[in-house]
Amino acid sequence: MPVAEKKKYTELDYHSLEVGPQFQLIDGEKVMPPIFSLNHQLVNGKLFMLISQHLEKNGLGGLCLFYPVDVVLDEKNTFQPDLIYISNESKVELLYDRIHGAPDLVIETLSPATAYYDLIHKKDFYERYGVKEYLIIDPLSKNAEVYVLNDKQFILQQKEHQNGTITLNTLPGLQIDLQKLFS
């Protein structure tokens, strides 16, 4: 029996919907978001507060935005990361309802339904389009990984478990205490 070919979508299709899209475009395919757990939301809320307070306290400027914000990397890839940071020096194009280009920092908090995309597909696209730093938070195993772009390739810079502390090149001076983050 022949397999039906999946329809491929573009950014134009995505943004022409009458109601705001509740999916991501990953390599032209619609990927529906899961219903996130309370723990997932708590972790992201704490991260947003930590980063926002750090930016304000240290006068770093830039923007910290959280899900859902559309990050358009190309015609077939519009992602909605959990959190992003865009520095004042960034070359991204900020539009009314989306961002065109690679943020300086992308943070994805894994859930069982998104881990495959976050660890493989989205990571590859973030690398290809020049995201400087990619932080992956895993609330289930209580660990975190920081990837830094070096010569157009992500290099694992830091991997910490629940008692560790994460630092980020894109946000100098920020320390993320994983024990507090996961409590």
Read out DSSP for 76-135? TEEE--SEEEE-TT--PEE-SS-EES--SEEEEE--TTTHHIIIIIHHHHHHHHT-SEEE
Does a structural domain hold residue 174? yes
Confidence of residue 59 (pLDDT cuts 50, 70, 90): very high
Does a structural domain hold residue 5? no
Does a structural domain hold residue 108? yes
Q: What is the CATH number of the domain that holds 45?
A: 3.90.1570.10
Does a structural domain hold residue 87? yes
Tokens of 57: 């306290």
Does a structural domain hold residue 158? yes
Look at 5-9, 95-99, 127-131 and tell me which has the smallest mean pLDDT: 5-9
Percent of the chain with pLDDT over 90: 73
Does a structural domain hold residue 85? yes
Kindly state the DSSP code that residue 1 receives in the 8-state scheme: -
Average pLDDT over residues 131-135: 98
User: Quick one: pLDDT at residue 30?
Assistant: 78
Domain of residue 81, residue span: 11-182
Count: domains in the chain: 1
Does a structural domain hold residue 1? no
Does a structural domain hold residue 115? yes
More confident residue, 25 or 79: 79
Q: Is the pLDDT of residue 141 over 70?
A: yes
User: Quick one: pLDDT at residue 1?
Assistant: 45
